[in-house]
Structure 1
Amino acid sequence: MQYAGDRPGDDAKTAAAGSGNGVFVKGCQKFVTTDDLQVAPASTSLMLSLCQKFGVQDPADLEQSILRFTSEKITSLLKRSLTSNQPLTGIHFNVPISPDDATLSMIPGNLCPEKVNETEDKIGDVKIKILQTKINSAVLYAEVGQDFVDLVFGLLSVPLGSMTKAFGQRLSNGCIDNLYRSILGSAEGYMGRDCQNLLLAPELAAFSGSSASQILQVNESAPRKLNINSCFMCFKIGGFSNLSRCRVEYNCRYTNCQNYPKTAQLCELDPKSPGGNSSNSDAYVKRAPQSFMVTDDLGVRPLSLDGSLRVVSEGKIQMKDLVEKEVTLTKFQVMELQRAALMSRGALSSVLLPPKKKKNLKHLRY
């Protein structure tokens, strides 16, 4: 059933789905995906190299089984690929996924250099105030404005392929980068050029660009446009399901509508500003005088006295051991903050503190 305003399905995509090709790959080629998600066409040489790699001398020692991937298992595979080099083993043997605190608490090494190059580009005027311990063991929270909140919210719109392109092996502790390298490696030639570009350099949805995507140099799709054989007034009345009402004739006269022309163009609007009167297309939060609190694990909430006291209290740190500092973010720090958001429960501490062992405040959860 089609409701007024529903856009018809894409006939071209429907036709492609009915062809012999898959969504991304050509034809009915069989592939081998290793435990760490390296993808390659099935071949005898690949089989021999895998047996040699894992020390398999007798094929009788191997057992074949069929894995059926439900939506829950696909979600589990994605999570495991970000934290483990053996996601398929984990799914097949139902290995419990380690708690986030155990695998993502800290990024190996420190991300912030001891001294920031004075000539390094600053990200506009993004300044934040951080409340941290005097001994540089942890950042409790940052007092920020709307510009910083828009930056971290913008991370959610950046495709995973673009993140992998920017950070490569530094993206996570898992093996998602193996999938990315397979596209131009062992699986090259088995998918069309457009599909390769879609995976290697995916574009943002229209109007979802942000300062975060600009730093990662992710392109934004152009707004969609659609020409219809109806005037706009008739479209508002009948939607896509009744466009023909605009052209109903009797005795060489239009009976339902006298408007001309009998065509119109529909244009996609910015959901952040459907009225089309916004001067800041990067904004996700309302433009109003408001300060926000961003905790070490990137929880965002309006700044309040009650919230500040609660974070300090749950951190079990005395007031005399705390200090407030003002930081002007560099491009390097913003990029590392984007990476830390995928890998760490202490993102702010990992990026903004000097390279020392930091206290992991596991109890700060919201």
Structure 2
Amino acid sequence: MAEKKAALNEDLENVITLKALVDMGNNKVIFVESDGDFIDVIFSFLTMPMGRIVRLACKSSVPVEIGCMRNLYQSIAQFNVHKFRSVACGLMLLLPCNAADCQCKNLKLKIDKDVPTRYLLCSDGCFLSYYRDIRCPSCGSLFSRGTDFPVDNTQVGGVFVKGQPRLIITDDLQVISPVSALSICLFSKLGVTDSKFTEELTFNMGVQEALNLLMHSFVSKTPLTEILLKNEQIPSLGDVHSSQGISIHSQMHGDTIDEEEKNISLKLVVSKSKKIVCYAEAQEDFFNLLCSFLTLPLGFILEKMQNVSWKGCLGQLYKSVEDFDEQYLKSNFHKELLVNPKLAPGFRYEKTLLGIEETSFYYVKSKLTTDKSCIPDNTSAESVKLNVVDPKSHEDRDESAQGFLKGPATFTVTDNLVVRPLSLILEMSVLQELKVPFTDIEDHIVHVGKREALLLLVASFVGDSALTNTFIRGLGEPKQEQ
């Protein structure tokens, strides 16, 4: 087997070296070998909030559409700041904080480093804020003193992976230990029958390539081939078909969650002949739910759709972490950061339909951490826990207010999640674009509980007909309010 070297267009001072076994006949990466630095980078994808991923996608040279998420992101970006409960609310959605930031600051390749999260302590050190020039609710001082974000002592020897193991990553981002690879006859499983047609190439992966790898992983089963061998034709994510919507409904992991009162309602305008949702009219509580999608870490979404068929391969990455041999991970805490990621403190929408929790910050020996194992045995967690000022309520004196938006307000929401304050012009243009006459539409009132919220999240992620796939193809025909 011949060996060649290949270099990507990247500053060699900040790269990770990958050894790839390449099928030269088909111009395809079979798998790569790398140490823990690369594994940490791809595992970190699972911790990234969707708002930051979509922001990177908007700036990237790789034109990837992630379902309806870009439309939702751009709708929020265009909103008048006065529509939000505080100035911070818009920043929370467009640049949400990563609850695993303590760990991800130590990655060798940081694909999301342009606008790092800031951490500010009040003068008494009793409250933490992400944003400047607001007053501490306890001591009344302005948050203006930024803390240098520390590296806690759990960071020695890697970020998520212990030490520097040599692991195998397949083209569709399955991560396999060498021992497991031998036991499952990896070569034959991956279609390698003759070593004469394979070559070993060495690549240097930098920040831009790592970012492109993430973007390709949303829409391709072969992202390593496309990035390393420059086969970069980007497939379109497209829309899920009708049968796919039923698949989301019947297979979605976690669909046995107990129902709670469905207290979010919206009016759907449906085409009777096409059986699609043309648009919806909704109150601020529904839009708040949509906004919260951008605060969610990628791993949380993937956990909810493990059995959903879609074009990307990030589900393979998630499953690899879930099944990963614990001897290679630093601790169960680090595994939980990836397979059961939480929100940064202060980012949870109060109507907890999605069932995600917030993490907690602890201030131990002048270091900020989310890892309880850093707390000395003779110290209680509560005594070092830092309270976080709710960013959503900085300028809102209404103690009963919830979410990111001021109310009452009504919005027009299209099937692909373009959102505007109630707009008859937008509604007319949607009907014209869909070629749906007035005689073909009817109104339906639907209600959203936990089940519908999770279905809507998945539908928003995998296709561009989120409302249709949630309320018609996923749940059956919408029931009209009597």
Aligned position for 2:325: 187
Query: In 2, Cα distance between the equivalents of 1:44 and 1:293?
Result: 52
1:101-140 equivalences under 5 Å are 101=238, 108-110=244-246, 111=248, 121=259, 123-140=261-278
TM-aligned CA deviation for residue 142 of structure 1? 0.5
Q: Say yes or no: does 1:312 pair with 2:312.
A: no
Query: What is the TM-score when the length of structure 1 is the normalising length?
Result: 0.73
The answer to whether structure 1 residue 80 and structure 2 residue 201 are counterparts is no
Which entry has the higher C-alpha Rg, 1 or 2? 1
1:204 is aligned to 343
Q: TM-score w.r.t. structure 2 length?
A: 0.57
Of 390, 403, 407 in structure 2, the residue corresponding to residue 270 of structure 1 is 390
Gaps of 5+ in 1: 114-119, 229-264, 358-366
User: 1:69: which partner in 2?
Assistant: 205
In the alignment, the residues of structure 2 paired with residue 105 and residue 76 of structure 1 have an alpha-carbon distance, to the nearest angstrom, of 27
Which residue identity does 1:128 align to in structure 2?
A: L
RMSD value over aligned CA atoms?
Answer: 3.3
Matched residue SS, 1:63: strand
Q: Given the alignment of the two structures, is residue 290 of structure 1 paired with residue 409 of structure 2, yes or no?
A: yes
Note closer, same or farther for the CA distance 1:122–1:223 as it changes in structure 2 (3 Å cut). same
1:112 to 1:319, Cα distance in 2 relative to 1, 3 A: farther
Q: Which of the residues 286, 290, 298 maps onto 1:160?
A: 298
Deviations along 1:234-278, whole A, 9 cap, x unmatched? xxxxxxxxxxxxxxxxxxxxxxxxxxxxxxx98531111125745
Partner AA of 1:27 in structure 2: G
Structure 2 equivalent of residue 148 of structure 1 = 286
In the aligned structure 1, how far is the partner of 2:473 from the partner of 2:288? 26
Quickly say closer, same or farther: Cα 1:281–1:80, change in 2 above 3 A. Answer: farther
The one-letter amino acid paired with 1:5 is: R
Deviations 1:49-82 (A, max 9, x none): 1222234343232112233333333233223323
Structure 1 pair 123–79 and aligned structure 2 pair: CA distance change class (3 A)? farther
Deviation at 1:88, TM superposition (A): 1.6
Amino acid at match of 1:181: K
CA contact (8 A) 2:172 2:313 kept: yes
Counterpart of 2:59 in structure 1 is none
How many residues in Structure 1 have an aligned counterpart in Structure 2? 307
Identity %, equivalent residues: 28
Q: 2:407 aligned with 1:302, yes or no?
A: no
Q: CA 1:184–1:48 in 2, change beyond 3 Å: closer, same or farther? A: closer
Tell me the secondary structure at the aligned position of residue 66 of structure 1: strand
Among residues 9, 23, 36, which one is paired with 2:172 in the alignment?
A: 36
- Equivalent position of 1:9 in the other structure: 149
Aligned residue for 1:215, secondary structure, equals: coil
Deviates further, 179-188 or 22-31: 179-188
Give the residue type in structure 2 aligned to 1:30.
R
CA pair 171-332 structure 1, distance change in 2 beyond 3 A:
farther
1:344 and 2:344 equivalent? no
Structure 2 residue aligned with 1:326 = 445
Q: Whole-Å Cα distance in 2 between the matches of residues 12 and 226 of structure 1?
A: 9
Counterpart residue number, 1:99: 236
